[in-house]
Chain A
Amino acid sequence: NAGVTQTPKFQVLKTGQSMTLQCAQDMNHEYMSWYRQDPGMGLRLIHYSVGAGITDQGEVPNGYNVSRSTTEDFPLRLLSAAPSQTSVYFCASSRDRGAQYFGPGTRLTVT
């Protein structure tokens, strides 16, 4: 099993550009989530999904969209990138309310 995979690993955007961060898992987990981690801080929940077709907002959803058309994939879209969105983004999945499995992260810089 590959676990949770994220692409790209690194990305530089100009202010106002849009992009999609990809996340996929091969563990048949129902629950998937996106976090951002700013320097020296913990993770903050952006959006999460409890199954295909079901998404909800986390702590910091503004400026981001998600959709969940399959169990495996949970892409995160930045609509109009801003310097405040410079961060490291982590995707995670879990079967239930137990342990979450994290991807390696995407380091995003917005100039």
Chain B
Amino acid sequence: SQQGEEDPQALSIQEGENATMNCSYKTSINNLQWYRQNSGRGLVHLILIRSNEREKHSGRLRVTLDTSKKSSSLLITASRAADTASYFCATVLMDSSYKLIFGSGTRLLVRP
């Protein structure tokens, strides 16, 4: 089964609103990453948060990590139509491998 699971599976908001996506995982991690995928395209890395960090910002993105609850959230503030995409969390485990295990994703639709 997949390490990460995202919630909600789909989200529809109005332009200008904030979008929050959540990710839960099962085993201890080295870091957690968020990616965006536009329809029919490859994935683009957005932000990485390490297991000893609690919050990280990048432009309109804010990521939090709660290792006690094994969960993370991605907040996109002041959303734009161009933010319409699928968003995936992915975890790198604490073992010696470099494996990146993806969640099932959240499909975000930002209505103009």
Contact = CB atoms under 8 A, between A and B. Distances in A.
B98 A96 contact: yes
Interface range on chain A: under 10, 10 to 19, 20 to 34, or 35 or more? 20 to 34
B42 A97 contact: no
Contacts of B4: 42
A101 B45 contact: yes
B4 to A, nearest CB: 8
Contacts of B44: 102
B88 interface: yes
A42 B103 contact: yes
A15 B56 CA distance: 47
B42 A104 contact: yes
Contact of B100 (A33, A56, A105): A33
A34 to B, nearest CB: 12
A45 B98 CA distance: 11
Contacts of A99: 33, 45, 48
Interface of A: 31, 33, 35, 41-45, 48, 50, 56, 58-59, 90, 92, 94, 96-105
Given A42-B2, A43-B88, A100-B33, 7 more contacts: A42-B4, A42-B104, A43-B90, A44-B2, A50-B98, A97-B31, A102-B42
Q: Which 6 pairs between the two chains have the least Cβ-Cβ distance?
A: A102-B42, A99-B45, A42-B102, A43-B102, A42-B104, A102-B43
